Structure formats: C-alpha cells, structure tokens
Amino acid sequence: MHRDINALILYATLPEDSILMQFSGIYADWTEKRDTPEHLKHRVYTQVRRLLDLSTACGFDRNLWQCYLTHTLISFESSFSLTCELKGASEGTINTIALHDFAIFQRLMHFDFTPLEKDLGMDCLSLVCDYKAIPKREQLFNRHVSEQVCALSLALDGARDAREVFDLVTAHFRRFGVGIFGLNRAFRIQDKGIPGPEGVEIQAINNMDRVVLSDLIGYETQKAEIRANVEAFLRGRPFNNMLLYGDAGTGKSTSVKALLNEYWEEGLRVIELYKHQFSRLSDVISLIKNRQYRFIIFIDDLSFEENEVEYKYLKAVIEGGLETRPDNVMILATSNRRHLVRETWDDRNDMEHDKDVHRSDTMQEKLSLAARFGCSVCYSAPNHRLFQEIVVSLARRYPEITLTDEELLAEANRYELRHGGESGRSAQQFLNQLLGRITP
C-alpha cells in the first residue's frame, strides 16, 4: 500500500493527516517492523474511527473503504480535475498521469487487509469493508453527497481497468464538478481574519429543506418572474440581480431554497452571506469566478439602519466598482423593505440638517442600492381567501389531519388572530401546532 500511495502524482499532495496517508504510514512501519504491534493496532483503530465518523456524516454504506477512496477522488482539487470540470477531459500528457493515479486507486479499492489483520489479531478493517448501516436519519448527513459517492463507488468497484475508472471519474467531473462545490449545493462563509481570498473559508450547508416552487401556494406571477431570470442566468443570457421584498412570512426565502432545489443539477449553487460579512464579498467572488457553476450570493432579510454603511460594499460589487462582476455570479437579497435602507422625512427635505446641505442627495445615495437590483419582485401578504387556500392545501399533505375544511379554517382563523396575521408562515405554524396535538 505505502509504495502505491508514495507513487501518486496528481494526488500526492493529499494532507498528511488524511486517512489514506495515515494508512500508508501504518503499512510502511508494519512491513519494516518500525513499530510495536500494540501501537500499530492503536493507529489502525484511530483511522477506523475516523472512517466511521466520515461515513456517518456523509451517509456511506456497503464498503466504507471504497466510499472513502471515491470521496477522495472527487473532492480533491487538482489541475486535472479542475480542467475536467471546466472543459471536460482532453487529450494530452495530463491524461497519462491521471491514468497512472487511477490505476493505483483501482488497486487500493480492492486492497486486501487480511495479512495485517491476522498479524495484529484484529478484524475491524474487514468489517468496514462489508458494512451494513443502521437506517439513515437524513438530518445527520448530506443526502446529496451520500447518493453521489455511493453510486460512483459501486461503479468503480466494478471497473475493469484504469481506463474505465478514468471514464467514470471524468464523467462525474463534467456532470457535477469537483471538490466542495461538486458535492454540495448550499454554502456559508467563515471569515478567518486573514486579508484576501485565503482568509475566507467556504463551508457546506447540509440540512436543507426539499421545498420546490410548486409547494409555495399562490404567487404565480412572482414565481414565473424569478424562474425566468434564473433560467437566463443559468443559460448564459443577460440577467439581473434580484430583490425579493414584501411582507414577512410570504415565501421570499422559501423561493430561494426552491430555486436551488430545482436547478442545482444545472449547476446552480447558493452561498449565503450575512450583513457583517459584506467586506469579504470581493474575496468570495475571487474564489468562485473561475468555476463552472452559477453562484447566487444570497443575502436574507437585508436592511440597513440610518447609521449603517455596510451597504456601500454591496453597491460597489453589484455595479459601479472598477472590477466587473463575473457572469457566473448573481446577487439575490430578500427584505421586508422595498428600498432596503431606512428613510426619514428629513431625508426628503432638501435643507441643512445635521450639517448636510443637500439632504435629497443623501436620500438618492440610499435609494441607489435598491436600484442596482434590476429584478425586484414584491411578495405581499395573502388576502383572506388565499390564506384559506394555503391552509387547506398544506393540510392535505398530512393524512393524519382529519378535520373538515370548515373546522380547519375556523381553527386557523383563531390561530392567525393571536400569531401575527395571515401569511404562509403562520399557516404552516398553525399546522405544526395542530400536528403536535395529534396522538400518533
């Protein structure tokens, strides 16, 4: 094993603390008798625990060793994999090098741990190579990652040679991409406090709702408008940044989740950004501008008080700075305010106030942020009839609710009077309360 791993070229820079590199060290020390059996057993157990932890987090099954190797193949970003993501596999010397590495991975996929286990008196490696997982709780793992890795792992297990491994892996790169963006669809950022793009870490969001646009009752005009703009974005046609504004609980954020769920297979990805992170917006764009995906930078519940100036970072990036926003990035914000920045009547008075001679200029500076969103879509609170339609439509998704429509609506009306009025959110909250009272 250690000789094969040491011969890797494209994957030679895998982290030293990775499971694969740690096993390489274990086998080197075992064959050269540089470590005691007891300590070797401890090292093996440590890596098996790490393998089990990763498999639980990602929902792996069957052969955890093969799933781990598959996960490594498709998550490690190399010059070869990134080129395949953008242009597909092309002829050249790099293909020969890739075939060399894939031949090694194919041997590793079918590696026999038995001699090591017999020598050390253990069987844990054989157990993880024939693993039967307990019924999966989807909230514990990323279902999308699990499906991708398990399907490709099974295909690689049956590959006849390195060329077939090459074809399977490069086809995956072309369809899904590589690395964290290939394995996930939604992300947030972590500011590491270092200037520049290297100071931003992009982290995957695993627990996402499976909602689609058809789940949002009503708002057909709004859904059609945002769908058309996103489809233009995905197809490389002219598009506009989007602002979804209106009353609370009307489905603005839900629409963003639904768009991602419907279009992720076409390369759509969403990165959620918070207001205090706007100063890192340019760094985030630097990290994603040369990838094959189409990124929505999502800012939820956006608004600014009079004394806040973070909106200036956003204005510069959206439109107006020296650097052009790349074609694969769209800014999408939701807000309860149409103009995003709090206005006062003094803003409209073109007289000296707090030493600002031309207050109307101040107002125009504030309003110019909302004007940079070329697609503004209003989500207004539903009328009483639509609210009732939302309640009944949502209730029909739960067979355990046996109330008649009249009984259901009577209770819903009493609920919304005490809980913030008529909206899609209050309708779902009412049903949650109702379902909680039903004895299983």
Kindly report, residue by residue over 59-99, the tens digit of the pLDDT. 898 999 999 999 999 999 988 888 888 776 667 788 899 99
Enter the pTM of the model. 0.82
Are 73 and 183 contacting, i.e. CB atoms less than 8 angstroms apart? no
Q: Last residue of some domain: 183, 216, 231? A: 183
171 and 242 in a single domain? The answer is: no
Pair 236, 272 in one domain: yes
Same domain? 170 vs 48: yes
Tell which wins on pLDDT, 315 or 176: 176
Q: Which residue has the higher pLDDT, 374 or 358?
A: 374
Q: Span 225-235, mean pLDDT?
A: 97
Boundary of a domain, candidates 183, 212, 229: 183
Amino acid letter, residue 287: L
Mean pLDDT, rounded, of the chain: 87
> Are residue 232 and residue 346 in the same domain, yes or no?
yes
- Do 61 and 46 share a structural domain? yes
Reply yes or no on whether the pLDDT at 237 is more than 80. Answer: yes
In CATH, what number is assigned to the domain containing residue 240? 3.40.50.300
Are 133 and 234 members of one domain? Answer: no
Secondary structure percentages of the chain, helix, strand, coil, to 5: 55, 10, 35
> For residue 64, which of 149, 155, 181 has the smallest C-alpha distance?
149
**Cα(208)–Cα(306) distance, rounded to whole angstroms?**
34
Q: Where are the beta strands (DSSP E) in 192-272?
A: 200-204, 242-246, 268-272
Q: Do 144 and 278 share a structural domain?
A: no
CA distances from 266 to 52, 72, 181, 223, 235 (A): 32, 23, 13, 18, 9
Residue 245 neighbours by CB under 8 Å, 6+ apart:
252, 334, 335, 336, 337, 338, 376, 377, 378, 379
In residues, how long is the chain?
A: 440
Total domains, the chain: 3
Give the pLDDT band (50/70/90) at residue 174: confident
| The pLDDT value given to residue 360 | 55
Q: Specify the range with the lowest mean pLDDT, choosing from 198-202, 315-319, 382-386.
A: 315-319
Same-domain status, 371 and 287: yes
Residue 423: count of CB within 10 angstroms of its CB: 21
Q: Which of 116, 149, 183 corresponds to the end of one domain?
A: 183
Domain interval for residue 307 = 186-379
14 and 26 part of one domain = yes
Shared domain check, 371 and 395: no
142 and 15 in a common domain: yes
**Residues 346, 362: Cα–Cα separation, whole Å:** 10
Is 191 in the same domain as 179?
no
